[in-house]
Structure 1
Amino acid sequence: MDSIFVNGTVGAGKSTLADALSAAERGRHAVIDLDAIRRLVPAPETDRFNHELALLNLQNLTNNYRAAGATRFILAGVIESEAEIPRYVAALGSVRMFVCRLVARPEVLESRLRFRHRDDPEGLAWHLDRVNGLSKILEAAETDDLVLDSSDIPAVELAVAVRRAAYWD
């Protein structure tokens, strides 16, 4: 596998783990935060989370990164259903993608979100509402090769576990 997808709800630590995976990777690789490549405001009514835009942008980024010599990809984002996985694999030009879902205890998620949105009460309310529903969606989807709890384990240690499970060591 040349790609690791860090999946999880808001506040689970996806970006932090992606950065830790990047720090541990010795080869040429790209780290892509899917939230960053899907920002279009307002989102179309037919694609509330700009998922289609993210896939198009991912394909273009991947082509550019591969042309620049990237051989591995680390993505941070959300996969809500099994049907999305082949679309990401195709956009990456990969054969298979390893999916690791991060979870955290509810009080940890709430604390992280309160810190992140300390100056944004509207954003905080939206994310606190979204976290519970998204957690249930992700758990029911069963799309993950590995599930790790980020509540108390440092990202560096989580990265070791992910790399081992994805055969990146």
Structure 2
Amino acid sequence: MVEHRNERQRLAGAIGVDLTVCSLRAELPVIHQRLTHRHNSEPEASQWHLDRSAQPDGIPSRAAVDDFSIDATTRSALDAAVSVIRAANWQ
């Protein structure tokens, strides 16, 4: 996760291209459900991700590092990916 504008600039410089940064957002209960499912066989990892899940909210918008954001609350992974491709004009 890129949390500060200087991190974005440093990453772009390291790879030698401009970056397009998208923030995927979802409602916290949905995030918790997805994390619990994803890490159901890893209780320690699950708890770490659940604890961390609320912390990043607002960081990209406060730091102005993203070019756009996509609400992924009700979108499938495929639909979210298509939305990112369209928003970034990569088609």
Equivalent-residue separation in structure 2 for 1:139 and 1:84 (angstroms)? 14
2:14 counterpart of 1:91: yes
Structure 1: 5+ residue stretches without partners:
1-77
**How many residues end up aligned between the 2 structures?**
91
Structure ID, larger Rg: 1
Following superposition, the deviation at residue 83 of structure 1 comes to 1.0
Q: TM-score, normalised by structure 1?
A: 0.49
Which residue pairs with 1:141 in the alignment?
Answer: 63
2:4 counterpart of 1:81: yes
Following superposition, the deviation at residue 123 of structure 1 comes to 1.6
**In structure 2, do the counterparts of structure 1 residues 128 and 166 end up closer, same or farther at CA, with 3 Å as the change threshold?**
same
Question: Which one has the bigger strand percentage?
Answer: 1
Which residue pairs with 2:24 in the alignment?
Answer: 102
**Matching residue within 130, 137, 155 for 2:77:** 155
Following superposition, the deviation at residue 128 of structure 1 comes to 1.0
Q: TM-score, normalised by structure 2?
A: 0.84
Equivalent-residue separation in structure 2 for 1:160 and 1:122 (angstroms)? 32
Identity, in percent, stands at 37
The CA RMSD measured in Å over matched residues stands at 1.6
Equivalent-residue separation in structure 2 for 1:126 and 1:101 (angstroms)? 21
Displacement over 6 Å in runs of 4+? none
Corresponding residue SS for 2:14: helix
Query: Residue type of the partner of 1:149?
Result: D
Following superposition, the deviation at residue 105 of structure 1 comes to 0.7
